[in-house]
Structure 1
Amino acid sequence: MKALIFSAGKGERMRPLTLHTPKPLLVAGGKPLIAWHLEKLAAAGIREVVVNTSWLGDQFAPALGDGARWGLRLHLIDEGAVPLETGGGILNALPLLGDAPFLVVNGDVWTDLAFSTLPDAPAGDAHVVLVDNPAQHPRGDFILRGDGQVSDEGDAARLTYAGIGVYRPQILDAWRAVIGDTVGAQAQPPQFGLAPLLRHAMAQGRVSGQHHGGQWTDVGTPARLAQLDAQLQARHG
Protein backbone atom coordinates (compact mmCIF):
# COMPACT_ATOMS: atom_id res chain seq x y z
CA MET A 1 0.00 0.00 0.00
CA LYS A 2 1.10 3.56 -0.73
CA ALA A 3 0.23 6.59 1.37
CA LEU A 4 -0.55 10.27 0.84
CA ILE A 5 0.19 12.90 3.49
CA PHE A 6 -1.77 16.12 3.06
CA SER A 7 0.78 18.90 3.49
CA ALA A 8 -0.37 21.70 1.21
CA GLY A 9 -2.44 23.87 3.55
CA LYS A 10 -1.47 27.42 4.45
CA GLY A 11 -1.89 26.87 8.19
CA GLU A 12 -3.56 30.22 8.73
CA ARG A 13 -4.84 29.34 12.23
CA MET A 14 -1.27 28.46 13.20
CA ARG A 15 0.19 31.86 12.43
CA PRO A 16 2.63 33.40 13.16
CA LEU A 17 4.42 30.02 13.31
CA THR A 18 3.45 29.16 9.73
CA LEU A 19 4.57 32.44 8.23
CA HIS A 20 7.99 30.87 7.73
CA THR A 21 7.40 27.12 8.24
CA PRO A 22 4.72 24.87 6.68
CA LYS A 23 2.57 23.31 9.39
CA PRO A 24 3.67 19.66 8.89
CA LEU A 25 7.29 20.75 9.47
CA LEU A 26 6.54 22.38 12.83
CA VAL A 27 8.27 20.48 15.61
CA ALA A 28 6.59 18.60 18.47
CA GLY A 29 8.46 16.23 20.74
CA GLY A 30 11.76 16.97 19.03
CA LYS A 31 10.77 16.17 15.46
CA PRO A 32 8.53 17.59 12.72
CA LEU A 33 4.89 16.53 12.82
CA ILE A 34 5.25 14.83 9.45
CA ALA A 35 8.20 12.77 10.72
CA TRP A 36 5.95 11.07 13.27
CA HIS A 37 3.70 9.97 10.40
CA LEU A 38 6.61 8.77 8.29
CA GLU A 39 7.89 6.63 11.16
CA LYS A 40 4.47 5.05 11.69
CA LEU A 41 3.93 4.47 7.97
CA ALA A 42 7.29 2.72 7.70
CA ALA A 43 6.49 0.63 10.78
CA ALA A 44 3.24 -0.47 9.10
CA GLY A 45 5.16 -1.76 6.09
CA ILE A 46 4.41 1.08 3.70
CA ARG A 47 7.34 1.93 1.44
CA GLU A 48 6.10 4.71 -0.88
CA VAL A 49 4.66 7.97 0.38
CA VAL A 50 3.34 10.92 -1.62
CA VAL A 51 3.52 14.34 0.04
CA ASN A 52 1.52 17.13 -1.60
CA THR A 53 2.88 20.63 -1.00
CA SER A 54 1.98 24.22 -1.74
CA TRP A 55 2.60 26.83 0.96
CA LEU A 56 6.38 27.08 1.54
CA GLY A 57 6.64 23.81 -0.35
CA ASP A 58 10.31 24.26 -1.16
CA GLN A 59 11.14 23.47 2.48
CA PHE A 60 10.02 19.83 2.34
CA ALA A 61 12.81 18.37 0.19
CA PRO A 62 15.65 19.78 2.35
CA ALA A 63 13.85 18.66 5.52
CA LEU A 64 12.84 15.15 4.44
CA GLY A 65 15.25 14.16 1.70
CA ASP A 66 14.22 11.14 -0.33
CA GLY A 67 12.77 9.30 2.67
CA ALA A 68 15.62 6.82 2.92
CA ARG A 69 16.23 7.56 6.60
CA TRP A 70 12.80 6.01 7.30
CA GLY A 71 13.17 3.24 4.75
CA LEU A 72 10.70 5.05 2.50
CA ARG A 73 10.60 6.42 -0.99
CA LEU A 74 9.09 9.91 -0.96
CA HIS A 75 7.34 11.63 -3.87
CA LEU A 76 6.82 15.37 -3.42
CA ILE A 77 4.07 16.99 -5.51
CA ASP A 78 3.99 20.77 -5.75
CA GLU A 79 0.39 21.90 -6.23
CA GLY A 80 1.39 25.46 -7.01
CA ALA A 81 0.45 28.68 -5.23
CA VAL A 82 -3.15 27.61 -4.48
CA PRO A 83 -3.69 24.29 -2.64
CA LEU A 84 -6.03 21.89 -4.42
CA GLU A 85 -7.89 20.97 -1.19
CA THR A 86 -8.27 17.39 -0.05
CA GLY A 87 -10.27 15.93 -2.94
CA GLY A 88 -8.31 17.82 -5.57
CA GLY A 89 -5.09 16.80 -3.83
CA ILE A 90 -5.96 13.12 -4.10
CA LEU A 91 -7.04 13.49 -7.72
CA ASN A 92 -3.76 15.22 -8.55
CA ALA A 93 -1.77 12.49 -6.77
CA LEU A 94 -3.55 9.50 -8.36
CA PRO A 95 -0.91 8.99 -11.07
CA LEU A 96 1.60 8.30 -8.29
CA LEU A 97 -0.79 6.48 -5.95
CA GLY A 98 -1.89 3.99 -8.61
CA ASP A 99 -4.97 1.79 -8.86
CA ALA A 100 -4.80 0.02 -5.49
CA PRO A 101 -6.26 1.32 -2.19
CA PHE A 102 -4.04 3.87 -0.46
CA LEU A 103 -3.75 5.37 3.01
CA VAL A 104 -4.38 9.09 3.53
CA VAL A 105 -3.38 11.10 6.59
CA ASN A 106 -3.55 14.80 7.36
CA GLY A 107 -0.11 16.27 7.92
CA ASP A 108 -1.34 18.45 10.79
CA VAL A 109 -2.60 15.77 13.17
CA TRP A 110 -0.70 13.69 15.72
CA THR A 111 -1.84 10.29 16.91
CA ASP A 112 -0.59 7.16 18.62
CA LEU A 113 -2.70 5.04 16.25
CA ALA A 114 -0.76 2.20 14.66
CA PHE A 115 -1.45 2.40 10.93
CA SER A 116 -1.12 -1.38 10.79
CA THR A 117 -4.60 -1.57 12.41
CA LEU A 118 -6.14 -0.20 9.21
CA PRO A 119 -7.37 -2.66 6.56
CA ASP A 120 -5.31 -3.14 3.43
CA ALA A 121 -8.46 -2.55 1.40
CA PRO A 122 -11.84 -1.15 2.43
CA ALA A 123 -14.92 -3.23 1.73
CA GLY A 124 -16.44 -0.23 -0.04
CA ASP A 125 -14.89 3.02 -1.21
CA ALA A 126 -13.34 4.11 2.08
CA HIS A 127 -12.49 3.07 5.63
CA VAL A 128 -12.03 6.00 8.00
CA VAL A 129 -10.73 6.50 11.53
CA LEU A 130 -13.00 8.33 13.97
CA VAL A 131 -12.04 9.74 17.36
CA ASP A 132 -13.81 11.22 20.37
CA ASN A 133 -14.86 14.80 19.75
CA PRO A 134 -12.25 17.36 20.84
CA ALA A 135 -13.26 20.50 22.72
CA GLN A 136 -13.04 22.64 19.59
CA HIS A 137 -15.35 20.31 17.63
CA PRO A 138 -17.99 19.07 20.09
CA ARG A 139 -20.65 18.08 17.55
CA GLY A 140 -18.42 15.64 15.69
CA ASP A 141 -18.72 14.64 12.05
CA PHE A 142 -20.11 11.17 11.40
CA ILE A 143 -21.98 8.29 13.06
CA LEU A 144 -20.21 4.95 13.51
CA ARG A 145 -22.92 2.30 13.48
CA GLY A 146 -22.79 -1.02 15.26
CA ASP A 147 -22.18 -2.86 11.99
CA GLY A 148 -19.04 -0.82 11.32
CA GLN A 149 -20.64 1.37 8.68
CA VAL A 150 -20.21 5.16 8.83
CA SER A 151 -23.19 7.42 8.22
CA ASP A 152 -23.97 11.12 7.99
CA GLU A 153 -27.69 10.56 8.58
CA GLY A 154 -29.50 10.17 11.90
CA ASP A 155 -29.62 11.55 15.43
CA ALA A 156 -27.08 9.19 17.05
CA ALA A 157 -23.97 10.57 18.71
CA ARG A 158 -21.26 11.57 16.29
CA LEU A 159 -17.52 11.10 16.33
CA THR A 160 -14.86 13.26 14.69
CA TYR A 161 -13.08 12.27 11.50
CA ALA A 162 -9.43 11.88 12.43
CA GLY A 163 -8.05 12.86 9.03
CA ILE A 164 -6.93 9.25 8.51
CA GLY A 165 -8.39 6.65 6.19
CA VAL A 166 -7.88 4.06 3.50
CA TYR A 167 -9.44 4.95 0.15
CA ARG A 168 -10.04 3.33 -3.18
CA PRO A 169 -9.36 5.53 -6.21
CA GLN A 170 -12.94 4.82 -7.27
CA ILE A 171 -14.25 7.24 -4.64
CA LEU A 172 -13.26 9.95 -7.12
CA ASP A 173 -14.99 8.41 -10.14
CA ALA A 174 -18.08 10.64 -9.93
CA TRP A 175 -16.42 13.67 -8.40
CA ARG A 176 -17.71 16.13 -11.03
CA ALA A 177 -21.31 15.06 -10.52
CA VAL A 178 -20.96 15.22 -6.73
CA ILE A 179 -19.06 18.51 -6.52
CA GLY A 180 -21.11 20.28 -9.15
CA ASP A 181 -20.26 23.31 -11.22
CA THR A 182 -18.20 25.19 -8.64
CA VAL A 183 -15.39 27.61 -9.39
CA GLY A 184 -12.86 25.20 -7.94
CA ALA A 185 -14.14 22.31 -10.03
CA GLN A 186 -13.56 24.37 -13.15
CA ALA A 187 -9.97 25.22 -12.22
CA GLN A 188 -7.04 23.35 -13.74
CA PRO A 189 -6.10 21.29 -11.87
CA PRO A 190 -9.44 21.09 -10.02
CA GLN A 191 -9.81 22.28 -6.43
CA PHE A 192 -12.42 20.57 -4.24
CA GLY A 193 -12.85 18.93 -0.86
CA LEU A 194 -13.06 15.25 -0.02
CA ALA A 195 -15.98 15.54 2.45
CA PRO A 196 -18.76 15.71 -0.21
CA LEU A 197 -17.38 12.57 -1.84
CA LEU A 198 -17.27 10.79 1.51
CA ARG A 199 -20.87 11.74 2.27
CA HIS A 200 -21.94 10.58 -1.19
CA ALA A 201 -20.28 7.20 -0.60
CA MET A 202 -21.81 6.96 2.89
CA ALA A 203 -25.27 7.42 1.43
CA GLN A 204 -24.61 4.31 -0.66
CA GLY A 205 -23.33 2.30 2.32
CA ARG A 206 -19.80 2.27 0.99
CA VAL A 207 -17.84 3.73 3.94
CA SER A 208 -16.73 1.69 6.95
CA GLY A 209 -14.86 2.94 9.97
CA GLN A 210 -13.15 2.28 13.26
CA HIS A 211 -12.99 4.20 16.52
CA HIS A 212 -9.58 5.11 17.89
CA GLY A 213 -9.75 5.73 21.61
CA GLY A 214 -6.10 6.61 22.06
CA GLN A 215 -4.34 9.92 21.68
CA TRP A 216 -5.17 12.16 18.75
CA THR A 217 -4.58 15.88 18.35
CA ASP A 218 -5.63 18.27 15.63
CA VAL A 219 -2.58 20.51 15.82
CA GLY A 220 -4.46 23.54 14.54
CA THR A 221 -3.26 26.36 16.78
CA PRO A 222 0.00 27.41 18.47
CA ALA A 223 -1.54 26.57 21.85
CA ARG A 224 -2.38 23.00 20.81
CA LEU A 225 1.10 22.58 19.32
CA ALA A 226 2.68 23.74 22.59
CA GLN A 227 0.46 21.37 24.58
CA LEU A 228 1.35 18.42 22.34
CA ASP A 229 5.04 19.29 22.53
CA ALA A 230 4.94 19.33 26.32
CA GLN A 231 3.14 15.95 26.41
CA LEU A 232 5.62 14.34 24.04
CA GLN A 233 8.63 15.80 25.80
CA ALA A 234 7.32 14.43 29.10
CA ARG A 235 6.67 11.00 27.57
CA HIS A 236 9.84 10.61 25.55
CA GLY A 237 12.19 12.76 27.58
Structure 2
Amino acid sequence: MASSTQMGPPVPPSRPIRTLNDRLSLSPMYRLPLGMLLGFASGGLLGMAKGSQDAGLRFTAENAHRQPNTQTGWYLYHKSKNYNTIFGGVKEGFKQAWRYTFWVGMYFAMEEGVDRGRAASVRTWRGLRKRKGESGAEAEARQIAGNRDCLSSMFAGLGTAGIFSAWNRFPLPTAARTAKLGAKAGFGFGLLQDAVSLVRGRRVGYVEFVKRVTLGSSEDGDEQGDEVAV
Protein backbone atom coordinates (compact mmCIF):
# COMPACT_ATOMS: atom_id res chain seq x y z
CA MET A 1 0.00 0.00 0.00
CA ALA A 2 1.57 3.25 -1.08
CA SER A 3 1.71 5.93 1.55
CA SER A 4 1.13 9.51 0.51
CA THR A 5 3.38 12.15 1.98
CA GLN A 6 1.66 15.42 2.77
CA MET A 7 3.79 18.46 2.17
CA GLY A 8 2.89 21.55 4.12
CA PRO A 9 3.35 25.13 2.92
CA PRO A 10 6.96 26.26 2.79
CA VAL A 11 8.11 28.04 5.93
CA PRO A 12 9.80 31.36 5.15
CA PRO A 13 13.27 31.65 6.66
CA SER A 14 13.36 33.72 9.79
CA ARG A 15 15.47 36.83 9.75
CA PRO A 16 18.72 36.39 11.69
CA ILE A 17 19.23 38.33 14.89
CA ARG A 18 22.56 39.75 13.72
CA THR A 19 22.82 41.27 10.25
CA LEU A 20 25.74 43.29 8.94
CA ASN A 21 23.66 46.00 7.25
CA ASP A 22 21.61 46.92 10.34
CA ARG A 23 22.56 49.34 13.08
CA LEU A 24 24.74 47.72 15.75
CA SER A 25 24.42 44.57 13.57
CA LEU A 26 20.96 44.00 15.10
CA SER A 27 17.75 43.90 13.07
CA PRO A 28 15.06 46.44 14.12
CA MET A 29 12.77 43.71 15.51
CA TYR A 30 15.49 42.91 18.07
CA ARG A 31 17.11 46.33 18.46
CA LEU A 32 13.85 48.05 19.44
CA PRO A 33 12.91 45.65 22.31
CA LEU A 34 16.52 45.61 23.51
CA GLY A 35 16.64 49.41 23.58
CA MET A 36 13.32 49.57 25.42
CA LEU A 37 14.56 47.00 27.94
CA LEU A 38 17.69 49.06 28.60
CA GLY A 39 15.51 52.16 28.93
CA PHE A 40 13.27 50.38 31.44
CA ALA A 41 16.28 49.28 33.50
CA SER A 42 18.03 52.66 33.49
CA GLY A 43 14.80 54.54 34.18
CA GLY A 44 13.97 52.20 37.04
CA LEU A 45 17.38 52.64 38.67
CA LEU A 46 17.36 56.43 38.31
CA GLY A 47 13.75 56.64 39.48
CA MET A 48 14.41 54.49 42.54
CA ALA A 49 17.41 56.63 43.51
CA LYS A 50 15.51 59.89 43.12
CA GLY A 51 12.26 58.58 44.59
CA SER A 52 13.88 57.16 47.72
CA GLN A 53 15.83 60.37 48.32
CA ASP A 54 12.75 62.56 47.90
CA ALA A 55 10.67 60.28 50.12
CA GLY A 56 13.32 60.41 52.86
CA LEU A 57 13.53 64.20 52.74
CA ARG A 58 9.73 64.48 52.71
CA PHE A 59 9.40 62.21 55.75
CA THR A 60 12.03 64.23 57.64
CA ALA A 61 10.28 67.51 56.83
CA GLU A 62 6.82 66.22 57.76
CA ASN A 63 8.02 64.92 61.13
CA ALA A 64 10.42 67.73 62.02
CA HIS A 65 8.00 69.11 64.64
CA ARG A 66 7.53 65.77 66.43
CA GLN A 67 10.96 64.33 66.96
CA PRO A 68 11.03 61.30 69.30
CA ASN A 69 12.76 61.60 72.66
CA THR A 70 13.23 57.95 73.59
CA GLN A 71 15.32 55.12 72.18
CA THR A 72 12.21 53.17 71.21
CA GLY A 73 10.74 56.25 69.57
CA TRP A 74 13.88 56.77 67.48
CA TYR A 75 13.82 53.11 66.45
CA LEU A 76 10.23 53.38 65.25
CA TYR A 77 11.03 56.72 63.59
CA HIS A 78 13.87 55.30 61.49
CA LYS A 79 11.86 52.15 60.75
CA SER A 80 8.97 54.20 59.40
CA LYS A 81 11.38 56.39 57.47
CA ASN A 82 12.96 53.33 55.83
CA TYR A 83 9.53 51.99 54.84
CA ASN A 84 8.57 55.33 53.30
CA THR A 85 11.92 55.57 51.52
CA ILE A 86 11.59 52.09 49.99
CA PHE A 87 7.98 52.63 48.96
CA GLY A 88 8.74 56.01 47.42
CA GLY A 89 11.74 54.60 45.56
CA VAL A 90 9.81 51.66 44.12
CA LYS A 91 6.88 53.86 43.11
CA GLU A 92 9.05 56.45 41.38
CA GLY A 93 11.22 53.70 39.88
CA PHE A 94 8.30 52.09 38.05
CA LYS A 95 7.01 55.47 36.92
CA GLN A 96 10.36 56.52 35.45
CA ALA A 97 10.97 53.04 33.99
CA TRP A 98 7.82 53.14 31.86
CA ARG A 99 8.51 56.75 30.92
CA TYR A 100 12.05 55.94 29.73
CA THR A 101 10.78 52.85 27.91
CA PHE A 102 8.27 54.91 25.94
CA TRP A 103 10.69 57.64 24.87
CA VAL A 104 13.56 55.28 24.08
CA GLY A 105 11.22 53.14 21.99
CA MET A 106 9.99 56.23 20.16
CA TYR A 107 13.58 57.28 19.41
CA PHE A 108 14.59 53.90 17.98
CA ALA A 109 11.38 53.66 15.93
CA MET A 110 11.86 57.18 14.59
CA GLU A 111 15.51 56.45 13.76
CA GLU A 112 14.51 53.43 11.67
CA GLY A 113 11.75 55.47 10.05
CA VAL A 114 14.18 58.23 9.07
CA ASP A 115 16.57 55.63 7.62
CA ARG A 116 13.82 54.20 5.44
CA GLY A 117 12.46 57.63 4.52
CA ARG A 118 15.87 58.81 3.32
CA ALA A 119 16.31 55.61 1.32
CA ALA A 120 12.87 56.11 -0.27
CA SER A 121 13.80 59.68 -1.23
CA VAL A 122 17.05 58.51 -2.84
CA ARG A 123 15.16 55.72 -4.62
CA THR A 124 12.63 58.21 -5.97
CA TRP A 125 15.37 60.52 -7.18
CA ARG A 126 17.88 58.03 -8.57
CA GLY A 127 15.81 54.90 -9.04
CA LEU A 128 16.49 51.48 -7.55
CA ARG A 129 19.90 50.26 -8.72
CA LYS A 130 20.20 46.48 -8.73
CA ARG A 131 23.33 44.42 -8.99
CA LYS A 132 23.57 41.36 -11.21
CA GLY A 133 21.66 38.48 -9.63
CA GLU A 134 20.19 40.70 -6.89
CA SER A 135 16.48 40.75 -6.10
CA GLY A 136 14.48 43.93 -5.60
CA ALA A 137 14.17 43.35 -1.85
CA GLU A 138 17.93 42.86 -1.52
CA ALA A 139 18.65 46.02 -3.51
CA GLU A 140 16.18 47.97 -1.36
CA ALA A 141 17.77 46.65 1.84
CA ARG A 142 21.22 47.64 0.56
CA GLN A 143 19.97 51.12 -0.26
CA ILE A 144 18.44 51.51 3.20
CA ALA A 145 21.73 50.34 4.75
CA GLY A 146 23.57 53.07 2.85
CA ASN A 147 21.45 55.72 4.59
CA ARG A 148 21.97 54.42 8.12
CA ASP A 149 24.29 57.01 9.64
CA CYS A 150 24.54 59.71 12.29
CA LEU A 151 22.37 62.10 10.25
CA SER A 152 19.30 59.90 10.73
CA SER A 153 20.14 59.55 14.43
CA MET A 154 20.36 63.34 14.77
CA PHE A 155 16.97 63.83 13.08
CA ALA A 156 15.47 61.12 15.31
CA GLY A 157 16.84 62.84 18.42
CA LEU A 158 15.51 66.19 17.21
CA GLY A 159 12.07 64.73 16.49
CA THR A 160 11.87 62.90 19.81
CA ALA A 161 12.89 66.06 21.68
CA GLY A 162 10.23 68.04 19.81
CA ILE A 163 7.49 65.55 20.72
CA PHE A 164 8.75 65.49 24.33
CA SER A 165 8.57 69.30 24.50
CA ALA A 166 5.06 69.35 23.04
CA TRP A 167 3.93 66.59 25.42
CA ASN A 168 5.17 68.54 28.45
CA ARG A 169 4.02 71.91 27.02
CA PHE A 170 7.42 73.55 27.40
CA PRO A 171 7.71 77.26 26.62
CA LEU A 172 9.49 78.12 23.38
CA PRO A 173 12.96 78.83 24.90
CA THR A 174 12.88 75.57 26.87
CA ALA A 175 11.67 73.65 23.82
CA ALA A 176 14.52 75.11 21.74
CA ARG A 177 17.10 74.05 24.34
CA THR A 178 15.53 70.59 24.54
CA ALA A 179 15.59 70.24 20.75
CA LYS A 180 19.24 71.31 20.65
CA LEU A 181 20.12 68.80 23.36
CA GLY A 182 18.18 66.03 21.59
CA ALA A 183 19.94 66.74 18.29
CA LYS A 184 23.36 66.68 19.98
CA ALA A 185 22.59 63.46 21.84
CA GLY A 186 21.25 61.79 18.70
CA PHE A 187 24.27 62.92 16.66
CA GLY A 188 26.69 61.60 19.28
CA PHE A 189 24.86 58.28 19.51
CA GLY A 190 24.83 58.08 15.72
CA LEU A 191 28.59 58.65 15.53
CA LEU A 192 29.06 55.84 18.04
CA GLN A 193 26.90 53.53 15.92
CA ASP A 194 28.83 54.53 12.79
CA ALA A 195 32.12 53.71 14.50
CA VAL A 196 30.80 50.28 15.46
CA SER A 197 29.55 49.77 11.90
CA LEU A 198 32.93 50.65 10.40
CA VAL A 199 34.70 48.28 12.77
CA ARG A 200 32.30 45.50 11.74
CA GLY A 201 32.82 46.21 8.05
CA ARG A 202 29.52 47.92 7.16
CA ARG A 203 29.64 50.80 4.69
CA VAL A 204 28.52 54.19 6.02
CA GLY A 205 27.04 56.63 3.52
CA TYR A 206 29.04 59.79 4.25
CA VAL A 207 32.29 57.83 4.60
CA GLU A 208 31.75 56.33 1.14
CA PHE A 209 30.93 59.82 -0.20
CA VAL A 210 34.19 61.23 1.18
CA LYS A 211 36.05 58.31 -0.39
CA ARG A 212 34.46 58.99 -3.78
CA VAL A 213 35.29 62.70 -3.62
CA THR A 214 38.84 62.40 -2.31
CA LEU A 215 40.02 59.07 -3.71
CA GLY A 216 37.77 58.83 -6.74
CA SER A 217 36.63 55.32 -5.77
CA SER A 218 33.33 54.04 -7.12
CA GLU A 219 30.26 53.70 -4.95
CA ASP A 220 30.13 49.96 -5.12
CA GLY A 221 33.69 49.15 -6.06
CA ASP A 222 34.19 46.71 -8.88
CA GLU A 223 30.52 45.80 -8.95
CA GLN A 224 29.28 49.19 -10.10
CA GLY A 225 29.35 48.10 -13.71
CA ASP A 226 26.89 45.34 -12.90
CA GLU A 227 24.28 47.77 -11.52
CA VAL A 228 21.18 48.62 -13.51
CA ALA A 229 18.56 51.26 -12.69
CA VAL A 230 15.02 49.96 -12.23
TM, length-normalised to structure 1 = 0.22
From the two aligned structures, give the one with the greater helix fraction. Answer: 2
Question: Which has the bigger relative contact order, CA under 8 A and spacing at least 6?
Answer: 1
**Greater CA radius of gyration, 1 or 2?**
2
